[in-house]
Amino acid sequence: MAETKMLDRKESAIYCTDRGYRTSYNTLMKLACTGGGPTFRKFGGRVIYAPEDLDTWIASRLSPPLISTSEAA
């Protein structure tokens, strides 16, 4: 099994933002409480994210390709 570097919440926000999907630390913190955010794990008291879970979450938030805004409705 390939070892995955887990990211803390700050690193995860940077990871998403660096890929063009602006995400803040506070957004990830809120979504961890309310739901709807990326899958995470706990390491002691710390929340950590796997990059592949962040990629899956990003993909789940994207719409299919559109050619006009009226298609989104």
Helix (H) or strand (E) holding 41: strand 41-43
Encode pLDDT of 50-70 as tens digits: 999 999 999 999 989 999 888
Boundaries of every domain in the chain: 7-62
Most distant pair of Cα atoms in the chain: their distance = 47
What is the full per-residue pLDDT of the chain (73 aa) written as tens digits?
467 899 999 999 999 999 999 999 999 999 999 999 999 999 999 999 999 999 999 999 998 999 988 876 6
Cα four-point dihedral sign 56, 58, 62, 64:
negative
Q: Give residues with Cβ within 8 angstroms of 41, minimum separation 6.
A: 6, 47, 48, 49, 50
